[in-house]
Amino acid sequence: MQFFKVKTVEETFTLIDDKITRIQDTEERPLEEALHYILAVPVTAKENVPGFDRSTVDGYAVKAKDTYGSSESMPGFLTVAGEVRMGEAADISVNSGEAVYVPTGGMIPPGSDSVIMIEHCEDLDGLLNTYKQVAPGENIIRAGEDIREGERVLSEGTVLRPQELGALASLGITHVTVYRKLRVGYLSSGDEIVPYQTQTLLTGQIRDINHLTILGLAKEWDIDVVYGGIVKDDYQEFQSKAKELYDQVDCLILSGGSSVGAKDYTTEVIQSLGSPGVFVHGISIKPGKPTILALAEGKPVIGLPGHPASAMIIFKLFGEKILRKLKGEEIEKRPDRIFARITKNIASAPGRSDYIRVRLVEKEGEWWAEPIIGKSGLITTLVKSDGIVEIISEKEGISQGESVPVIATR
Amino acid sequence: MQFFKVKTVEETFTLIDDKITRIQDTEERPLEEALHYILAVPVTAKENVPGFDRSTVDGYAVKAKDTYGSSESMPGFLTVAGEVRMGEAADISVNSGEAVYVPTGGMIPPGSDSVIMIEHCEDLDGLLNTYKQVAPGENIIRAGEDIREGERVLSEGTVLRPQELGALASLGITHVTVYRKLRVGYLSSGDEIVPYQTQTLLTGQIRDINHLTILGLAKEWDIDVVYGGIVKDDYQEFQSKAKELYDQVDCLILSGGSSVGAKDYTTEVIQSLGSPGVFVHGISIKPGKPTILALAEGKPVIGLPGHPASAMIIFKLFGEKILRKLKGEEIEKRPDRIFARITKNIASAPGRSDYIRVRLVEKEGEWWAEPIIGKSGLITTLVKSDGIVEIISEKEGISQGESVPVIATR
C-alpha cells in the first residue's frame, strides 16, 4: 500500500480545483424543467424586450411640455383624445394639447413622450386637469430597455435561477441547452453496518445513517443518488460492487472503512478503479481526518469517514465543492456562505482546520454564532446546529466577537 | 367596489402573521422522500444511540490508570489480550495490565474505561508499548450519549434537513408523519398576455414571464404549481377559471390586472371566492404597490403586480411568507437572509419600504451590497442581482457602510 502525507484543508481545496473538471454532456430541456441547471450554450436576444414603448403606470400619454407648470393649485388642461387598449397597437396619435389614456403595460401612442399618472390628474368629461408636471420619458419603458436585440443575455455557465428563466421566457425561448444532471453513487461498507430500516440491532451493529444524510445533501444540490447498498469487509465483494456502481455514475461515494484499521480495503478498492487514483488520504481537519479523495479516469471518488456527523461535514465541505466543480458551478456565490461573530473564544491547533457547529442568533442586524458543545461523532450536534464555522489552519483559534465565515446548514 | 387604504410593509407582514394558519393535512412518508417536509408528530427515541459504548478511534481498550505516566521517553507496557471485531459483541474482558485492540466504531470490551490510539502505542508481538497516557472515558462514545432512550428527539414543526433524516435513521425510524406538500395555482390575466412560447408577438402583446419566475420560486420552496393558463379581461371567464383553479389548490396566485385600471376585475374575482376576502389592497412599497392579498375560506389568494420584476420581488417577500406560514415553517431562520454593508447612500421616501436590487461582493470577511441601477420593471436588473436590500418604511434612506438585511437571490 502507498503511503500518503496528510493534507491541509487549503491544499485539499487547491487539489480539487486543479483536478476536477466539469462534465461535458449536455441536453435540451424545456424552461419549466430547467430550474438550477447550468447553461451550456450562451443565449443571445433575437428581439427587443419590451418590443414596444410601454407605460409603467395607469395614466395619460402626453407631450411632457404640455404639463410644464402644472400643480395642485394651478392645474393644466388637456383634451382627452382617446385611449389605448391593452394588447393592441396604439392607433391614435397625441397632438399638442392632447392626452390619451394608457393602462399599465399599454403601448405609448405616437406623438407622446411621457405618461402622467391617473393619481396626478382628473378626467372631467373629456377635459383632463393635470396637477403635476412630467419630464420627457417619465413612466415609460422604452423598446429594448430591458433586453436589446443582439445582446448576449446569459453566458455559458450561468445557473438558471427563477429570474433567468423569466428573462428567457421574455424572449420567447422555450428550450435551453444545459449540462445534464449529475448522478452520484453511494456505497456503504463495514461488517458492522446494517440497513437503517433494521429494527433490532445486534450488539456491535450500526445503522447506515450516512445513506440518509448524503442523499439529503445531494438532493439539495439537485443531484440524483444511486444507492449501492452495504458491503461486508471483503475485498472481492467490495471491489466488484464499487466497480459496478462506479460504471453507472459521475462520482462515487464510499462510506466507512477509511480509518487505518485492519479491515481497511477502501484505499485498495479506490486505487483499483482507475488512474490517477488517490490524491488526498487524510486531511488535517477536525472532524473528518480519515477522508480519501481520488480521481479514477476522470470520475471523482470520495471516501468518507465513518462517523455520521464527520461524514456529513466532510461531504458538505469537500463533496459539495467537488460536485459543483463537476457540474461547472461556482461554490463561492452560494447563499449558504454567510458571516457571523463568534460568541466565545475557541482554541484550535495551528496546522489543523477546525469546523465548529454553531447556532445562529440575530442580534442588532448581525448574525452571532454560538458554539454547540458535543463530541464530533454525535449526529445530534448537527441537528442542534444552524451552521458550521471554519477556523482555518493558520489560526490558533478565534476570539469572542471575531467575524467568521459560516456555512449555513439551516 | 370597496375602497382600501394602502398598507405599510410592516402592517402587511403582521396581517399575514395574524391571518394565515398552517394546513392540517398530514401524510406518512418514507425517510428517503421526506427531505424538507415538516414533522407533524414529534419523535421520541425508543432506544439509545449508540446502542453500546463505542470507540471513536482505532486503538487499544485499556484501563486508563495502566497508562498513567506513559510518555515517548518512558513508555508503559501492557499485554495484548485479543481484539474486538467490527459488528460483533466484545467477548473478551480487559484485566489490569491488559489491552484489547478495538477498531473505530467497535464495542468497548468490559473491564476497560478508555482507548489509546494506535498512533500513541506500538504492538511488539503481543507486548504493547504505550507512549501516552489516557484519561478515563477518552476516545469512547457512551451508549445513549448521542440520543437517550425516551428522549424527545425532534418536535412537531421541525423541518427535516439531511441531519434530521440522519438522526431518524440512527433510531431505525423508516417513516415519518409530515404535513403534506403544498399545491399552489397560478393564473395569468390580461388581454395583452400571451403564452411565453409565442414566437412572434403582435404589437402590444406581452409574454407570460411570471409563469416561469413564480414556478421557479415555488419549486425552490418545495411547492407544486398548477398552471391555470391565461384568461382575457372578461369577468365571467376570469371568475370561472379562478374558481376552478382555487378549488384544486391551497393558495391561488393571480398575475396581472391588479392596477386600478378600467379592466381591473381581479379584486371582484377574488372577493367572489369566499370570506373574509381581501385584507391588503395596495402596499406602500417600491416596487410592487398594486399587490392584493386575500383569504377566501381559509385559502390565501395573492394578486401580483403585472411587471415581472415587481411580481417576483412581491412573491419572494409576501408570497414566501404566506406559503411558509401555510406550511407551518418559520421564515426568519432561512439561509437566504443575510447581512451586508451598502456601498453607497440611498434615499427613500419615509412611509414607503424600498427594495433595492444589489450585487453581493465579499470584502475582508464581510458582504457588501452594491446597488444595481435600472427601472424596477426590468427583469434584467434581477438577473444581474444577487440579493434585495430592504429600506424599511421608517427610514429616509441608508448611508454608505450601513449594515442592512439582504434577501439573497443567488
Residues B73-83 pLDDT 10s: 999 999 999 99
Band the pLDDT of B204: cuts 50, 70, 90. confident
Give residue-wise pLDDT tens across range A399-408.
999 988 888 8
Residue A334's pLDDT is what? 59
Which residues lie below 8 Å from residue A144, measured CB to CB, with a gap of 6+?
Answer: A48, A49, A50
Q: Is the pLDDT of residue A90 over 70?
A: yes
Mean pLDDT of the region B128-154: 95
Tell how strand A292-296 and strand B353-363 pair up.
Answer: unpaired
Nearest CA in chain B to A332: B362
Q: Are A100 and A61 in contact (CB under 8 A)?
A: yes
Cβ–Cβ gap A260/B204 under 8 Å:
no
- What's this model's pTM, rounded to 2 decimal places? 0.90
Nearest CA distance, B83 vs chain A (angstrom): 11
Cβ–Cβ gap A56/B196 under 8 Å:
no
Contacts of B266 in chain A (CB under 8 A): none
Band the pLDDT of B258: cuts 50, 70, 90. very low
Mean pLDDT of the region A14-23: 95
Which of B165, B214, B365 shows the shortest C-beta gap to A216? B165
Contacts of A313 in chain B (CB under 8 A): none
Query: Lowest-confidence range among A98-102, A332-336, B19-23, B33-37?
Result: A332-336
Q: Is the pLDDT of residue B10 over 60?
A: yes
Q: Is the pLDDT of residue A262 over 50?
A: no
Chain B interface test: which of A80, A83, A115, A163 (most B C-beta within 10 Å): A163
Q: Is the pLDDT of residue B262 over 50?
A: no
Q: Is the pLDDT of residue A257 over 70?
A: no
Contacts of B334 in chain A (CB under 8 A): 410
Residue A227's pLDDT is what? 97
Residues of A145-184 as b/e, b for ≥16 C-beta within 10 angstroms?
A: bbbeeeeebbeeebbbbbbbbbbbbbbbbeebbbbbbbeb
Give CA–CA dist B370/B367, Å, rounded. 10
Task: Tell me how far the alpha carbon of residue A104 is from its chain's centroid.
Answer: 34
Band the pLDDT of B1: cuts 50, 70, 90. very low
Band the pLDDT of A110: cuts 50, 70, 90. very high
Residue B203's pLDDT is what? 84
Domain B54-141 grouped into CATH 2.170.190.11: yes
User: What is the dotted CATH code of the domain comprising B26-49+145-179?
Assistant: 3.90.105.10
Mean pLDDT of the region A85-109: 91
Cβ–Cβ gap B172/A201 under 8 Å:
yes
What is the residue type of B181?
K
CA Rg, chain B, in Å?
Answer: 31
Nearest CA in chain B to A201: B51
Contacts of A213 in chain B (CB under 8 A): 162-163, 165-166
Q: Is the pLDDT of residue A1 over 50?
A: no
Percent of chain B with pLDDT over 70: 95
Contacts of A90 in chain B (CB under 8 A): 204
Q: Are B392 and B10 in contact (CB under 8 A)?
A: yes
C-alpha cell at position B332: 426568519
Contacts of B47 in chain A (CB under 8 A): 201
Cβ–Cβ gap A146/B377 under 8 Å:
yes
Contacts of B202 in chain A (CB under 8 A): 87, 89
Band the pLDDT of B24: cuts 50, 70, 90. very high
Cβ–Cβ gap B212/A145 under 8 Å:
no
Q: Is the pLDDT of residue A398 over 70?
A: yes
Sign of CA dihedral B208, B214, B219, B224: negative
Band the pLDDT of B188: cuts 50, 70, 90. very high
Segment (H or E) for A269? helix A266-272
Band the pLDDT of B391: cuts 50, 70, 90. confident
Cβ–Cβ gap B335/A367 under 8 Å:
no
Residue B375's pLDDT is what? 76
Nearest CA in chain B to A34: B216
Which of B141, B312, B335 shows the shortest C-beta gap to A410? B335
Give residue-wise pLDDT tens across range A368-383.
999 998 776 788 888 8
What is the residue type of B157?
G
Residue A196's pLDDT is what? 96
Domain assignments of chain A as residue spans, ordered by start: 9-23+182-327, 26-48+157-179, 54-141, 337-408
Residue B270 DSSP SS3: helix
Cβ–Cβ gap B105/A383 under 8 Å:
no
Contacts of B207 in chain A (CB under 8 A): 169-170, 172
Residue A66's pLDDT is what? 97
CATH topology of domain B337-408: Beta-clip (2.40.340)
Alpha helices in B306-396 (DSSP H): 308-314, 320-327, 379-383
Cβ–Cβ gap B35/A367 under 8 Å:
no
The tally of CA atoms less than 13 A away on the side-chain side of residue B190 is: 32
Residue A409's pLDDT is what? 80
Cβ–Cβ gap B87/A205 under 8 Å:
yes
Residue B29 DSSP SS3: strand
Band the pLDDT of A150: cuts 50, 70, 90. very high
Cβ–Cβ gap A90/B192 under 8 Å:
no
Cβ–Cβ gap A210/B164 under 8 Å:
no
CATH topology of domain A26-48+157-179: Molybdopterin biosynthesis moea protein, domain 2 (3.90.105)
Top-confidence residue, B334 or B369: B369
Mean pLDDT of the region A34-47: 95
Residue A382 DSSP SS3: helix
Residue B89's pLDDT is what? 87
Q: Is the pLDDT of residue B331 over 80?
A: no
ipTM, two decimals, is: 0.89
Residue B405's pLDDT is what? 86
Query: Lowest-confidence range among A71-80, A160-169, A182-191, A323-332?
Result: A323-332
Q: What is the domain class of B9-23+182-327 according to CATH?
A: alpha beta
Mean pLDDT of the region A52-58: 90
Cβ–Cβ gap B383/A199 under 8 Å:
no
Cβ–Cβ gap A335/B333 under 8 Å:
no
Percent of chain A with pLDDT over 90: 69
Contacts of B395 in chain A (CB under 8 A): none
The packing angle between helices B320-327 and B9-19, to 10°, is: 20
Q: Is the pLDDT of residue B364 over 50?
A: yes
